[in-house]
Amino acid sequence: MTEPAPSTADTPGAVLLDVDGTLVDTVYQHVIAWWEAFTEAGHAVSCFDIHRAIGRGSSDLVQSLLGDVDQATLEALTDAHSEKWGRVRERTTAFHRVPELLRACAGRGLRVVLCTSGEEADLDFFVRAIGGRDPVDAIVSSEDVEQSKPDPEIVRKAVDAAGVRPERCVMIGDTVYDVRAANAAGVRGLGVMCGGIGRQELVDAGAAAVYGNPSELLDALDDWAPLR
């Protein structure tokens, strides 16, 4: 799905990019890590339901699946997931052509901001996986905010980091939470399906356009980020 090119006044000045499931192929590894954490703690939670919750911050994910839990349980599950995810993290890779996409965005004069709900410990890995820091102007992570997506706080922080008005930013993400957070922050949201969420669901969440993966985003750059 594509859309008409924006007018000159609305041509993006910054692109805000989710990382897990958008730039780096990590979603299903996170699902298994969470499933193991829940199972070992005696909670029967399906991989399907976990996948539907990926994109939220860790605390919100646990509470969305188990309801209100005490702080000790919340911390134990979050720590267990982090430990299990840490075992496989270095074996995950960026999606095809991600470095080229980031360089192409920077080459068009776009401010490039990573906007991730991932943990601080993941940031070095993410930067290596996407080919280095050079095309990236700023990184905003869960450590910088109090609320996780779909709350718009992290997107607003990314807009501030970009130094561009919200209406001249584009947010790219693979979950409905990314799209909802973008829209709530006044940012045009684009969806990608490489995290496992389908086109129609992303459109229903408010995505202005949906692409398959970063490679398709790169090929369609003139549609969503035309030269100024």
Domain end, chosen from 63, 91, 119, is at 91
Q: Which residues are paired to 15 by β-bridges?
A: 112, 170
Other Cβ atoms less than 10 A from the Cβ of 193: the count is: 17
Count of domains forming the chain? 2
Residues 114 and 189 in one domain: yes
Residues 138 and 82 in one domain: no
Residues 111 and 188 in one domain: yes
41 lies in which domain range? 27-91
Residues 22 and 32 in one domain: no
Q: Which of 79-83, 91-95, 143-147, 176-180 has the lowest mean pLDDT?
A: 143-147
Instruction: Say whether pTM exceeds 0.85.
Output: yes
Specify whether the CB–CB gap between 23 and 91 falls below 8 A: no
Residues 184 and 129 in one domain: yes
Specify whether the CB–CB gap between 64 and 53 falls below 8 A: yes
Q: pLDDT (tens digit, 9 = 90+) per residue, 15-57?
A: 999 999 999 999 999 999 999 999 999 999 999 999 999 999 8
Mean of pLDDT values over 100-110: 97
Residues 81 and 129 in one domain: no
Residues 151 and 197 in one domain: yes
* CA 34 to centroid of chain Cα atoms: 18
Residues 51 and 130 in one domain: no
Containing 96, the helix (H) or strand (E) segment is none
Residues 145 and 40 in one domain: no
What CATH number is attached to the domain comprising 43? 1.10.150.240
Residues 148 and 39 in one domain: no
Q: Is residue 121 part of a domain?
A: yes
Tokens encoding 95: 């999606």
Q: Which of 79-83, 89-93, 98-102, 117-121 has the lowest mean pLDDT?
A: 117-121
pLDDT at 6 > cutoff 50: no
